[in-house]
């Protein structure tokens, strides 16, 4: 098939590359000429393991193309995928301006092609509130009139940053929302190479397809907030969340995924999608009490963790409370194997530390450049994890990169001014920290304070 991708962000680029890799000809459209120039040279704007190699392979095979010209992208496309951003506004409501812009550009291309064409399928792959795909249909229909044929579909993505290539190539499921069976058949044809592992393609109605994405992400976010709430209870009552988690997760009905205590969720999906569910409830008068609690618990988790820092230093909750202290951070990205710092707990914690007068230094294996762009000169970004910890009064573990899981404890204690660790990912055993002489705070477990 010939396909076009509107948007070369995380979803659009990964989708385009993977679909090109099975033999389709894919043209990726973006409005940024500098970005398109880099993409044509095989330079990915995002860090995702395996993506650069697949890009280079398919560019060389002339199956993967990049352009800023909407007509060039859409003229020969059998399917047009809308993969633009749908950010939350200041109220948490989904901003659809990029969806509207994409729909208008597609309508212009359809008008130019005229009525004598095979109906193109316009696929909304962006995460959108329920009803948006049909809104796109109506918006395009209003512009092109009744004579020009086209179809719409919804195709939510379920990609995990850091494992997106594998997720796309070996999906747990593919969900397609369609109005007509013939469109479902075309979607099945497109995705057939990816479901030969026996996992299903669900061809359902469009409204349900849109809701599947939100229900899935909201549930995973709920698991994260739940385990953090249990961890806080363990801490208050002297229990150990690690032992509690083991006993709880051995129940097959519960499982063990997304049930790790920590600093809460971040990134571009869970925060935005949870807020979108709340927004959809507000618009229809349906109380979303669980979603609200999930979001509030997630935000409070960062505050609660930072309270440990303030408590250790007996800092007053006023500007200057951490003056003269240097706080080092290992990890900036919201999770390992990505350079994505959107809604990252580390960013929140660093800004809090700065607000109380601390000097902040940070290290991340791949997110350094994004952090420099986001934080400017306020935070010193280093290229070495031990240089980051040098002369620090405390070290905060904020991302569970493999690089941090078995450090040289002797070297770490030697370079730090004070051997104090605040572990937001529970990477280390308390007994291990006691043995090496660290004061150690984690989540859902008793603090270690060497005598």
Q: CA-to-CA distance for 80 and 4, rounded, in angstroms?
A: 5
Q: Where is 159: in which H helix or E strand?
A: none
Q: Where is 95: in which H helix or E strand?
A: none
Please give the DSSP secondary-structure letter assigned to residue 163: S
Cα atoms in the Cβ-side hemisphere of radius 13 Å centred on 385: 23
DSSP letters, 19-47, are HHTTT-EEEEE-S-HHHHHHHHTT--SS-
Shortest CA distance to 110 belongs to which of 80, 58, 72, 148? 148
Residues with Cβ within 8 Å of residue 11, at least 6 apart in sequence:
83, 125, 126, 157, 159
**Which residue is it, tokens 């070297």?**
411
Pair type for strands 420-423 and 150-154:
unpaired
Q: CA-to-CA distance for 122 and 31, rounded, in angstroms?
A: 19
Q: CA-to-CA distance for 389 and 332, rounded, in angstroms?
A: 14
> For residues 435-448, b (16+ Cβ closer than 10 Å) or e, as one string?
ebebbbbbbbbeeb
3-state SS, 306-323, equals HHHHHHHCCCCCCCCCCC
Q: Taking the CB of residue 205, how many other CB atoms lie within 10 A of it?
A: 12
Q: CA-to-CA distance for 87 and 127, rounded, in angstroms?
A: 10
Q: CA-to-CA distance for 129 and 127, rounded, in angstroms?
A: 7
Q: Coil, helix or strand for 406? A: coil
Q: Coil, helix or strand for 357? A: coil
Shortest CA distance to 82 belongs to which of 101, 65, 95? 101
Catalytic residue (one of 18, 176, 234, 269):
269
Is residue 234 annotated as a catalytic residue, yes or no? no
The residues facing 328 across adjacent strands are 361, 395
Shortest CA distance to 424 belongs to which of 395, 401, 397? 397
Shortest CA distance to 417 belongs to which of 396, 440, 390, 436? 390
Structure tokens that stand for 116 in this block = 């004598």
Shortest CA distance to 418 belongs to which of 402, 399, 441? 441
Task: Provide the annotated active-site residues.
Answer: 269
């Amino acid at each position: 098939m010939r396909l076009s991708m509107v948007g070369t962000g995380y979803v659009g680029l990964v989708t385009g590359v993977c679909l090109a890799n099975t033999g389709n000809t894919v043209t990726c459209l973006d409005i940024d000429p500098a970005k398109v120039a880099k993409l044509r040279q095989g330079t990915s704007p995002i860090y995702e393991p395996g993506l650069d190699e697949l890009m280079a392979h398919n560019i060389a095979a002339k199956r993967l193309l990049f352009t800023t010209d909407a007509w060039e992208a859409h003229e020969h496309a059998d399917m047009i995928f809308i993969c633009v951003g749908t950010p939350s506004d200041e109220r948490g409501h989904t901003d659809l301006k990029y969806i509207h812009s994409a729909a208008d550009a597609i309508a212009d291309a359809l008008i130019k092609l005229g009525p004598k064409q095979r109906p193109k399928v316009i696929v909304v792959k962006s995460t959108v509130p329920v009803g948006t795909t049909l809104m796109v249909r109506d918006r395009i229909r209003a512009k092109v009139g009744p004579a020009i044929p086209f179809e719409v579909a919804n195709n939510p993505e379920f990609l995990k940053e850091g494992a997106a290539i594998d997720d796309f190539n070996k999906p747990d499921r593919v969900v397609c929302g369609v109005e007509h069976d013939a469109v479902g058949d075309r979607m099945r044809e497109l995705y057939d190479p990816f479901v030969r592992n026996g996992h299903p393609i669900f061809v359902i109605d469009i409204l349900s397809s849109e809701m599947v994405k939100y229900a899935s992400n909201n549930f995973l976010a709920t698991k994260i907030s739940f385990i953090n709430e249990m961890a806080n209870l363990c801490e208050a009552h002297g229990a150990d969340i690690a032992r509690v988690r083991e006993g709880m997760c051995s129940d097959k009905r519960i499982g063990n995924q997304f049930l790790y205590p920590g600093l809460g969720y971040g990134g571009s999906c869970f925060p935005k999608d949870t807020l979108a569910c709340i927004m959809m409830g507000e618009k229809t008068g349906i109380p979303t009490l669980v979603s609200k609690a999930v979001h509030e618990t997630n935000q409070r988790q960062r505050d609660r963790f930072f309270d440990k820092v303030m408590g250790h230093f007996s800092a007053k909750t006023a500007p200057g409370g951490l003056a003269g202290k240097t706080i080092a951070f290992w990890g900036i990205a919201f999770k390992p194997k990505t350079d994505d710092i959107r809604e990252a707990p580390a960013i929140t914690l660093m800004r809090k530390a700065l607000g109380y007068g601390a000097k902040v230094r940070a290290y991340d294996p791949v997110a350094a450049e994004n952090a420099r762009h986001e934080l400017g000169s306020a935070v010193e970004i280093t290229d070495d994890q031990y240089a980051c910890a040098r002369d620090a009064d405390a070290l905060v573990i904020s991302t569970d990169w493999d690089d941090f899981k078995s450090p040289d404890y002797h070297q770490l204690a030697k370079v730090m001014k004070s051997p104090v660790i605040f572990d937001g990912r529970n990477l280390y055993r308390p007994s291990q920290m006691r043995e090496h002489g660290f004061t150690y705070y984690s989540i859902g477990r008793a603090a270690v304070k060497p005598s």
